[in-house]
A and B are shown apart, each in its own frame.
Chain A
Amino acid sequence: MKRALLFLPLVLGAGLFFLFNQMLGHDPSELQLARKDQPVPVFSLPDLHQPDKLITEADLKGRPMLVNVWATWCPSCRVEHPYLLKLAREYGVTIVGLNYKDEREAALRWLVELEDPYAISVFDEEGRLGLDLGVYGAPETYVIDAGGVIRYRHVGVVDEKVWQTVLAPLIESFGS
């Protein structure tokens, strides 16, 4: 009986091995997008700045835009932030911020301190919209066309390279 107990680590190790083996070759930066080429899911969430004001999927239509998933607990978001400011200010890109599983106060402080690149800020405290979108973590950035259809999902930091080689050409291709 005691000897049988000693096999426990081996069994647990085998379980982990099975998991890793399944996950391998599954590059998280190319996670399949369940909602690719589908409309933004139906949602109704408060505005980060005005808790009384509700934002819905209808607000995400009319022009191509980026939806940026961020949170104050996410260090890479801080790295990414200055570049988002540049995109919004110098390139005139419309960016919707999806504040994900965060605290309202901390998020507002962040936007005051680091400045606010977002045309609209959605406050997704419980991560509901995040779940519907299939958000893996923060930061993530979705490209949405003028008709409100999700066209692309980028996992990780958006920087000059990502913008110039991936996002900008994509937006240009359907922007006009």
Chain B
Amino acid sequence: MIAEIGHFALILSFCFSLLLTVVPLLGAWWRDPLWMGVARPLAMGQLVMVLAAFVALTANFLLDDFSVQYVANHSNSLMPWYYKVSAVWGGHEGSLLLWVLILGGWTAAVAKFSKQLPLDMVARVLGVLGFVNVGFMLFILLTSNPFNRFLPNWPQDGSDLNPLLQDFGLIVHPPMLYMGYVGFSVAFAFAIAALLGGRLDAAWARWSRPWTTVAWSFMTAGIALGSWWAYYELGWGGWWFWDPVENASLMPWLAGTALMHSLAVTEKRGVFKSWTVLLAIFTFSLSLLGTFLVRSGILTSVHAFASDPERGQFVLMFLLITIGSSLALYALRAPVVKSRIGFTERSREIFLLLNNILFVVATLTVLGGTLFPLGAEYFGYEVSVGAPYFNLMFAFLVPVLVLIMGVGVYSNWKDTRPKVLFSRVPVMALVSLPVALVVPWLYGEVALLAVVGTYIASWLILATFLDVWKKSASKQSRWSGWLKTSRSFKGMVAGHLGIAITILGATITSHYSEEKDVRMEAGTVAEIAGFQFKLLGIEGVRGPNYVSDQAHVTITSSSGDIVTTLHPEKRRYLVSGDVMTEAGIDAGLFRDLYISMGEHLGDGAWAMRVQYKPLVRWLWLGAVFMSVGGLLAVADPRYRVKLKQRRQQPEVNTRLEEASTSAVMPDGGGSTA
């Protein structure tokens, strides 16, 4: 019964999104305020219904209703309740339901937080989002219904969730990532609405900016969570594999980063409009392309989603309609008038353009590497592109990008005096050199790529700090000067530092990790990087839905202090019979100690892998900085000043106009709506 209610709610939600597509867009066309006005209530109705469907599916999981096929295939009565909840998005159908729930949530959020927008813009944006909703709802209802039942005979118990997914990381990773993927559809909707209404101006850029930045922050967090999960759950300490599905999330992230920066130029200076709009379409297309690649089965990947050609056909048609029509609209409506606002080659505009070019090149590099095998196969060759290609390309692109970033943060709009632009370059260049030599030397061998990685990280950190030093000058204390800087500036600082931290972590952990595979039995001691791992013993443990061999390993440092005791496990899940490795990790800011169990070698001896991973946490710490930076930038009051101004406009017109001008455009350039 609950499943049927869920199914019905999903159909109702589909109806709402269909109305949301048709009515407000026609209303905007005919300039009918009533038809445009229904957009907001329809968006809310759509969210309520899809939420009801999601709650119904969750209830089916919690109540162990194995007559529902999706539940029977992804759950088991023995699973703890929190994995039953996360199992809702543990497979294709349910993860799509989570996808449309989040899309509904973003749509409703736009409806709620768009009071300062003109009504026709709201109607168009929500209409476009409604269209995207229609596509995904149809996809679920026609090809991937999670509410289908086994009738008349259903299994007594479920076949369990893939043990790899029975884990905290998998509870939070997909929702975060989907928040990012789906969030970019808002930027897309704004771009299409602007093209439709012929209002491709600075105001449009200012409205889309916070949405894009929030989506980007979630996406950053989502990708980092996925990497962290792979690190501790796959059991061998790797953190990025250039797997097609990882690439599918990295591409919109790279394009989204470009979009975020390009929107800044369009907002502040009113230039690069056509380019920014194209980036918004491109970013969203890559999100859709990711969905297509993952769920159509045309690429093999370790992220196994049940795939079939029918689903692929559907997504491909949806891609054709959405992206095809938006690119056609772009070709017909994007402005070609050359902007009159001038800028020199030392301006911030140019530096942000370089940023855009490099990020787009990086995106195309990943896209090419992911699709090349497909293309080659079509022409009769069979090739594979592995990690070496991606590593090589990024080892080249990232240093160029970071070196330009370090100078670019000093640039001003329109033009920068060379003295201002380059005055700190000698300091950055000279101080980074010894750092880049000493840090690798302290870790061991001085390898070229380690030196390059450390150098650019140091370069960027110095550039950021010197910039903060310059901007925080104040008559009172420096601290109060720092507090006075805008939140968007603080956000930028955090984001750029995050990049440096991640680069440093990736560099050091790639070059100076140590690992050893050893045969261990009770009493054996293995030594790595000065730490002694002693296996005390192995005992059988019974979990809720698995049995496991659990090792007890104490680690002592070179000075003889006991660091910690770890408990790596080898689990066998009862229903599926799958064997899983749970690594034992002692996490630290400067190093992780990692031990995982391999095969049982007989006579109580086990193959064990011990690892020392310096600075590996910095990879994800950097991502935390980036995400927080994004959210800080969005929290900047200037996005809310406009709202207050509009509400109180009649009485306090002049005063607030001043306030908003100074808040929105400290440089006095650009144009407002």
Contact = CB atoms under 8 A, between A and B. Distances in A.
A23 B324 contact: no
Given A6-B336, A10-B327, A75-B241, A137 B316 contact: no
Interface string B231-269: 000101010010100000000000000000000000000
Interface in B373-428: 373-375, 377-378, 382, 384, 386-388
Contacts of A156: 300
Contacts of B309: 24-25, 27
Contacts of A114: 517, 598
Contacts of A22: 378
Interface string B333-363: 0101000000000000000000000000000
A17 B319 contact: yes
Which DSSP category, helix, strand, loop or mixed, fits chain A's interface?
A: helix
A135 B296 CA distance: 21
Interface string B275-316: 000100110010000001000111110100001010011001
A77 to B, nearest CB: 11
A65 interface: no
A85 B516 CA distance: 18
Given A20-B292, A160-B577, A9 B331 contact: yes
B316 A6 contact: no
Given A17-B320, A156-B300, A7 B331 contact: yes
B299 A3 contact: no
B323 interface: yes
B324 A17 contact: yes
A75 B323 CA distance: 33
A174 B172 CA distance: 48
B299 A13 contact: no
Given A24-B309, A27-B309, A19 B378 contact: yes
B330 A6 contact: yes
Contact of B298 (A3, A26, A75, A113): A26
* B interface residue count range (under 10 / 10 to 19 / 20 to 34 / 35 or more): 35 or more
A96 B126 CA distance: 59
B296 A113 contact: no
Contacts of B577: 160
Contacts of B378: 19, 22-23
Interface residues of A, number: 46
Interface in A53-108: 71, 73-76, 78-79, 82, 85-86, 101
B323 A78 contact: no
A151 B631 CA distance: 57
A14 interface: yes
B384 A27 contact: no
Contact of B324 (A3, A10, A31, A101): A10
A101 B334 contact: no
B607 interface: yes
A73 B386 contact: yes
Given A3-B336, A21-B316, A29 B236 contact: no
A136 B336 contact: no
A169 interface: no
B380 to A, nearest CB: 10
A22 B598 CA distance: 42
- The 4 A-B residue pairs whose C-beta atoms are closest, nearest first, are A137-B384, A25-B309, A10-B327, A2-B336
21 contacts: A2-B336, A3-B336, A19-B371, A19-B374, A19-B375, A20-B316, A20-B374, A21-B316, A23-B378, A24-B296, A25-B309, A25-B312, A28-B297, A76-B302, A113-B517, A114-B598, A134-B382, A135-B382, A135-B384, A136-B382, A138-B386
Given A20-B319, A28-B300, A156-B300, 11 more contacts: A10-B324, A10-B327, A19-B374, A23-B298, A23-B378, A73-B387, A75-B243, A75-B302, A78-B236, A113-B609, A155-B300
